[in-house]
Amino acid sequence: MQTLLNESIRQIAGQLQNWRRDFHHFAESGWFEFRTATLVADELHRLGYSLKMGKEVIKADARMGLPSVQALQEQEQRAIQQGAKVEWLPHFSGGFTGIVATLDTGKAGPTLAFRVDMDALDLNEDQTHVHRPYAEDFYSCNAHMMHACGHDGHTAIGLGLARILKQYENRLTGKIKLIFQPAEEGTRGAKSMVEAGVVDDVDFFIAIHIGLGIPMGELVCGKDSFLATTKIDVTYRGAASHAGGKPEEGKNALLAAAQATVGLHAISHHSKGISRINVGVLQAGTGRNVIPDYALMKVETRGETNEINEFIYGHALGVIEGAAKMQNVEYEIELMGAAQSSKPSPAWVDFIYQQAQQHVPELSSVVKSGRQSVGSEDATYFMERVKANGGLASYLIFGTELSAGHHHGQFDFNEDVLAIAVKTLATITINLPDFDAERHQ
């Protein structure tokens, strides 16, 4: 069996690279993944998967950090010009760029789901010859959009896995779901898919990532946890006035934002675990002689547990309101993103570890758990929903060499990791019946 699987993986290695480089060249950031989604849907349909897309898998009012209607329309037109499969676009129009592909084997068994993300970052890619994507002409052609976190690779892995599983369908049982998620950056997209019910029938769940500081050839079978996070935009609205002639008539939104910034960073840390807060952007004012009537703050909180994050966030809301009262200005808060903390299921991690150790010699090292992360990931919404329904979940990291850190303009990775990831995930799927039977004995 492994000899056959090895040959199947070898045969698609070139296609994995082609997919990855195509997605990298036509990078699309969150909720703008129109071209990417149509190409993914077209390939999955060709393979014979049952597809649910757009509003079927994304709850509209649960989306976070959604761009303007005008921006969505402009990006949809851009995608058409760049080769989007127009017959699929109606499903994704308006920023509903999610896909769930299901392979129903027709045989009794559990439902296994994999999540991969598709979005790029709002970042300009390096355009010098020291950067391989530029030197080899697959750098992003879209300004301020770059795959600087490996999601182009994740999407390629998802499609490669789809091909392999279809090839070995007669050896599978139950159902396999492939979830292609938009807008992971900023932790904006997963919650809307979870609230649409896409994992409510899932017994086993895996989300993946490449890189993250893990060496090439190493697999982390269960990321210990990501930090829970809440990301908000805060707008203060006051009254403009001449700073010299009528200062008493002004209501200073800039001062409210400045006082809030200082107050937010003074919130106490939590004794029970990691806590974070940051004001990353503060924009205000129109001129040196004008009382500022508008200010925008971009804020995030994080916590090692959901409870710690809620503690920090609750205090943040009080500081934001207090600063508004001090300056007699109005304020509004818009939720831009969120994620939970989540720990992997130990029994599921053990099984993944066993499969990787026994059947994937390309992995030089397999470890059961990675260190506590100080980042956040909205795959935790999927994990927590699956676990709440009695299922098992984990988050896998496939190590790879990186040319620069994540979210850097020179980010690139060793593409050999793509085939390793597909083989590992296919192996887990093919051998899942053994684990499921043992679990229910």
Give the CATH number for residue 296.
Answer: 3.30.70.360
In this structure, what are the phi and psi dihedrals at residue 34, rounded to the nearest 5 degrees?
A: -70, -50
Distance CA 288, CA 248 (A): 16
Q: Find out whether 209 is annotated in a ligand binding site.
A: yes
Per-residue pLDDT of the chain (441 residues; tens, 9 = 90+): 778 898 999 999 999 999 999 999 999 999 999 999 999 999 999 999 999 999 999 999 999 999 999 999 999 999 999 999 999 999 999 999 999 999 999 999 999 999 999 999 999 999 999 999 999 999 999 999 999 999 999 999 999 999 999 999 999 999 999 999 999 999 999 999 999 999 999 999 999 999 999 999 999 998 777 899 999 999 999 999 999 999 999 999 999 999 999 999 999 999 999 999 999 999 999 999 999 999 999 999 999 999 999 999 999 999 999 999 999 999 999 999 999 999 999 999 999 999 999 999 999 999 998 666 678 999 999 999 999 999 999 999 999 999 999 999 999 999 999 999 999 999 999 999 988 777 766
In this structure, what are the phi and psi dihedrals at residue 97, rounded to the nearest 5 degrees?
A: -95, 50
Distance CA 55, CA 67 (A): 17
Which residues sit opposite 275 in a β-bridge? 303
Question: Does one domain contain both 73 and 51?
Answer: yes
Question: Does one domain contain both 217 and 357?
Answer: yes
Task: Please state the domain count of the chain.
Answer: 2
Question: Does one domain contain both 211 and 251?
Answer: no
Q: Could you give the residue ranges of the DSSP H alpha helices within 68-144?
A: 69-81, 89-92, 132-135
Coarse DSSP helix, strand, coil percentages of the chain, rounded to the nearest 5 percent: 40, 20, 35
CB contact set of 363 (below 8 Å; sequence gap of 6+): 217, 218, 219, 356, 357, 420, 424
Could you tell me which of 47, 37, 152 has the C-alpha nearest to residue 99?
A: 37
Among 336, 355, 385, give the residue marking a domain's end. Answer: 336
Question: Does one domain contain both 10 and 99?
Answer: yes
Three-class SS state of 319: helix
Instruction: Read off the DSSP letter of residue 431.
Output: H
Which residues sit opposite 52 in a β-bridge? 100
Question: Does one domain contain both 237 and 208?
Answer: no
Three-class SS state of 321: helix
Distance CA 202, CA 32 (A): 27
Question: Does one domain contain both 69 and 178?
Answer: yes
Contact (CB, 8 A) for 167 and 9: no
Question: Does one domain contain both 210 and 238?
Answer: no
Give the CATH number for residue 376.
Answer: 3.40.630.10
Domain that holds residue 9: 1-225+341-440
In this structure, what are the phi and psi dihedrals at residue 276, rounded to the nearest 5 degrees?
A: -145, 150
Question: Does one domain contain both 220 and 307?
Answer: no
Query: What pLDDT, on a 0 to 100 scale, did the predictor assign at position 440?
Result: 64
SS3 per residue for 237-250: ECECCECCCCHHHC
Query: What pLDDT, on a 0 to 100 scale, did the predictor assign at position 441?
Result: 60
Among 279, 302, 336, give the residue marking a domain's end. Answer: 336
Q: In the numeric block, which tokens belong to residue 251?
A: 């209501």
Distance CA 224, CA 371 (A): 6
Question: Does one domain contain both 136 and 239?
Answer: no
Q: Find out whether 24 is annotated in a ligand binding site.
A: no
Query: What pLDDT, on a 0 to 100 scale, did the predictor assign at position 375?
Result: 82
Q: Find out whether 185 is annotated in a ligand binding site.
A: yes
Which residues sit opposite 232 in a β-bridge? 299, 335
Contact (CB, 8 A) for 175 and 365: no
Contact (CB, 8 A) for 386 and 115: no
Which residues sit opposite 177 in a β-bridge? 102, 113
Question: Does one domain contain both 38 and 174?
Answer: yes
Contact (CB, 8 A) for 261 and 297: yes
Query: What pLDDT, on a 0 to 100 scale, did the predictor assign at position 373?
Result: 67
Q: In the numeric block, which tokens belong to residue 409?
A: 């303009």
Among 336, 364, 381, give the residue marking a domain's end. Answer: 336
CB neighbours of residue 245 within 10 Å? 8
Distance CA 115, CA 385 (A): 13
Distance CA 42, CA 439 (A): 36
Instruction: Read off the DSSP letter of residue 403.
Output: S
Enclosing H/E stretch for 53: strand 50-53
Q: What would the DSSP string read from start to end of 268-318? A: PP-TTS-EEEEEEEEEE-S-TTB---EEEEEEEEEESSHHHHHHHHHHHHH
Q: In the numeric block, which tokens belong to residue 242?
A: 């001449």
Q: Could you give the residue ranges of the DSSP H alpha helices within 328-415?
A: 346-359, 379-388
Q: Could you give the residue ranges of the DSSP H alpha helices within 26-146?
A: 34-47, 69-81, 89-92, 132-135
Question: Does one domain contain both 311 and 364?
Answer: no
Question: Does one domain contain both 321 and 378?
Answer: no
Query: Residue with structure tokens 């001129």?
Result: 287
